[in-house]
Amino acid sequence: MSCYDTLMEYGLRSLGYGERLLPRSDFTLCQQVVLIGSGMIWNVYFGVVALLSGFALATALAVGKASRSAWFRKPAQWVIFLFRGSPLFIQFFFAYFLFLSLKGQVPAFDALTSAWLGAAVVLFFNTAAYSGEIFYGALQSVPKGEVEAADAYGLSGWSKFRRVVWPTTLRLAWPAYTNEAIFLFHATTLVFFSGFPASRQQGDALYYASYFADKTFNPFVPYPILAGYFILLTLVVIGVMGLIGRRLNRHLPDAAGARRRGGFRTIFR
Amino acid sequence: MFASCADPETLSGLSWLWCYLTTGKHLAFYGAFGTVLLLLAVTAPVALAFGFGGAVAARSRIAPLSWLGRAYIAVVRGVPDIAFFLFFVIALDQGIEWLRHKAKCPDWDQPIRQGSDFVVCAEAKMPLSTSAQWVHEVYGFWLAVFTFALVFGAFAANVLYGAMRAVPQAQIETAEAYGMTRRQVFRRITVPQMWVYALPGLSNLWMVLIKASPLLFLLGVEDIVYWARELGSTKTPQFTAYPHGDWRMWYFLFLLVFYLAFTRISEIVLDRIMLRLSHGQATLGSHKRTGPIGMNKAGPP
């Protein structure tokens, strides 16, 4: 069987398309590369969904935590504390068993016990809390002069926030937020090891890597493949976030060069 | 364990709960918290040592050593930590057995890797198949410590590398002007001065380490996650004197609260240490850490 055939059979295996049976003996390098790559679809899915949805909540949490009214500040502080103070691994377990018992009472919660939704919800709250704290820190360090300048232009309330405070916050938070994005993608590997079942062996990259390591009893092939994929993914995340960062800073002198170097420093520092 | 618990079926309410929570398995569960704390207590200094070694290597003027240090930092930080845990727990075991095999059974002529099997002679098994259960447990624990230290050593190396570079250049130059050698400057100026710059990063790392400790479960150690799953699952009257439904949610809620308390206490203590160390130091670190949960995060979530 050629490598092309393997790709056709197992390329979308993690989503349930193609050959159902996983290879059981005579494992080839090609099978391992293809299946682990197929699992990466889930890692990218969880990461992108959590990052995009979490961004909105993170902004709300940051503004809430900086708010002078206790009605907004306290809940935001508590959400951030709960999700940053406890391990993601335990959060996954707890959420899974919580959804499981909710499902026992209300069948509508059925979807939450499967990984594609349940784990995404946990990751959404988790990354929102971490990013919320980053944005809050950035919000606190917005230069006073910019806010005063906005006041002088007659901006107030929503328009001041949207046109002055928020863009500067993002600009300041961007390097740290890039780091958070990288670690979020890494954290997605926990999903299938923490209660959430991989139905019909449709798992993520680490799920397949550990499957091969268990079957061949040789960890020296699947895990380096996985590491390669993740280093690639990390570089892509740095690249994309760097592009956005450059756009955020496009009005600043020498923004392009500074951002590019800044982006790489976040990981190879 | 208590005389009043001899016949659980006659118990009810709080006395049932009291007897339930003091069964032998529950005591093992409480003991597992000790295992986690022990792991953290042992891992933190070992990881710091690894980090120091990594940072020194990365700063080295000998190019291959410097590449090695940088590669260690970049690779471990670029790959999910859980992948390392799953990898090392097998790889270390096989590596140790392979070395022992080479040393103890030199006249063994069969290949070690036979298809999907890893075959070494009986004397090279680690631990020996004849040794007691506790030897297996201690061995597993040390593998876990080593793996944790290796992964978090890379993060610590990153922090210390930055801290060594943050020591003001003027101090280094002054030391050189006094005629100190490179080695003396490192020992007398850089190392003592770097800690205050390293502390925010290191305390952050400690928090990340605490939050990584439940991953012990994946290394096959009978830790709190193992027991919470075990004790919480549905128990029928055939197998236990204390039947109950699926209580895993409550057990994990308990773990969640434990970790929240643990990280909160750590944070308060670390903030105090930071305040004390940065007394009279004109660094940003002395004012920067604000807010109840600390500002920055430089590790896996």
DSSP class of residue B235 equals B
Say which amino acid occupies A226. Answer: L
Domain chopping of chain B, boundaries:
19-288
| Mean pLDDT, rounded, for A235-247 | 92
> What is the number of structural domains in chain A?
1
Using an 8 Å CB-CB cutoff, list chain B residues near A77.
292
Least-confidence region, from A4-13, A225-234, A259-268: A259-268
Q: What is the pLDDT of residue A260?
A: 47
pLDDT higher than threshold 50 for residue B299: no
Q: What is the pLDDT of residue A10?
A: 80
| Mean pLDDT, rounded, for B22-49 | 89
In a domain, A166, yes or no: yes
pLDDT higher than threshold 80 for residue A26: no
In terms of Cα–Cα distance, which of B125, B145, B120, B147 is closest to B136?
B125
pLDDT higher than threshold 80 for residue B113: no
Question: What's the CA gap between A42 and A208, in Å, rounded?
Answer: 11
Say which amino acid occupies B134. Answer: W
B220 in reach of chain A (CB within 8 A): no
| Mean pLDDT, rounded, for A179-207 | 88
B286 in reach of chain A (CB within 8 A): no
DSSP class of residue A22 equals P
The per-residue DSSP string of B8-74 comes to: GGG--HHHHHHHHHTSHHHHHHHHHHHHHHHHHHHHHHHHHHHHHHHHHHHH-SSHHHHHHHHHHHH
pLDDT higher than threshold 90 for residue A43: yes
For B229, the token pair is 């799953």
Q: For residue B263, give the 3-state DSSP assignment.
A: helix
Q: What does the pLDDT look like over B208-258, one tens digit per residue?
A: 999 988 888 888 788 888 888 888 778 777 777 777 778 888 989 999 999
Give me the numbers of helices (H) and strands (E) for chain A, helices first please. 11, 0
Q: What is the pLDDT of residue B294?
A: 38
Q: What is the pLDDT of residue B115?
A: 66
Which residue in chain A is spatially nearest to B216 when comparing CA positions? A89
| Mean pLDDT, rounded, for B6-19 | 74
Interface of B with A in 245-274 (CB under 8 A): 246, 248-249, 252-253, 255-256, 259-260, 263-264
Q: What does the pLDDT look like over B126-138, one tens digit per residue?
A: 777 677 778 888 8
Please state whether the predicted TM-score (pTM) of the whole model is above 0.95. no
Give the closest of A100, A126, A223 to B87, CB-based.
A223
In a domain, A264, yes or no: yes
Q: Is A85 in Cβ contact with B263 (below 8 Å)?
A: yes
Q: What is the pLDDT of residue A243?
A: 93
Least-confidence region, from A61-65, A231-235, B202-206, B277-281: B277-281
Q: What is the pLDDT of residue A259?
A: 46
A209 in reach of chain B (CB within 8 A): yes
ipTM higher than the 0.90 cut: no
pLDDT higher than threshold 50 for residue B56: yes
In a domain, A126, yes or no: yes
We report the CATH number of the domain holding residue A84 as 1.10.3720.10
- Round the average pLDDT of chain B to a whole number and report it: 82
Q: How far is B280 from chain A (nearest CA, A)?
A: 23
CA distances to B137, B138, B213 from B35, in Å: 11, 11, 10
The domain defined by B19-288 carries CATH number 1.10.3720.10: yes
Give the closest of B78, B252, B296 to A230, CB-based.
B78
| Mean pLDDT, rounded, for B57-65 | 90
In a domain, A36, yes or no: yes
In terms of Cα–Cα distance, which of B83, B94, B225, B145 is closest to A210?
B83
Q: What is the pLDDT of residue A53?
A: 95
Give the closest of B87, B246, B295 to A137, CB-based.
B295
For B228, the token pair is 């919470």
pLDDT band at A218 (very low <50, low <70, confident <90, very high): confident
Using an 8 Å CB-CB cutoff, list chain B residues near A136.
291
| Mean pLDDT, rounded, for B60-70 | 90
Most confident of A74-83, A105-114, B225-234: A74-83
Question: What's the CA gap between B153 and B151, in Å, rounded?
Answer: 5
B59 in reach of chain A (CB within 8 A): no
Q: What percent of chain A has pLDDT over 70?
A: 94
Using an 8 Å CB-CB cutoff, list chain A residues near B291.
65, 133, 136-137
Interface of B with A in 117-136 (CB under 8 A): 117-118
CB A173 within 8 A of CB A134: yes
Contacts of A142 (CB under 8 A, 6+ apart): A165, A168, A169, A172
The domain of A38 spans: 29-268
Give the closest of A80, A86, A126 to B259, CB-based.
A86
Q: Which residue has the tokens 């039947």?
A: B243
Q: What does the pLDDT look like over B165-206, one tens digit per residue?
A: 888 888 899 999 999 998 899 999 898 888 888 888 898 899
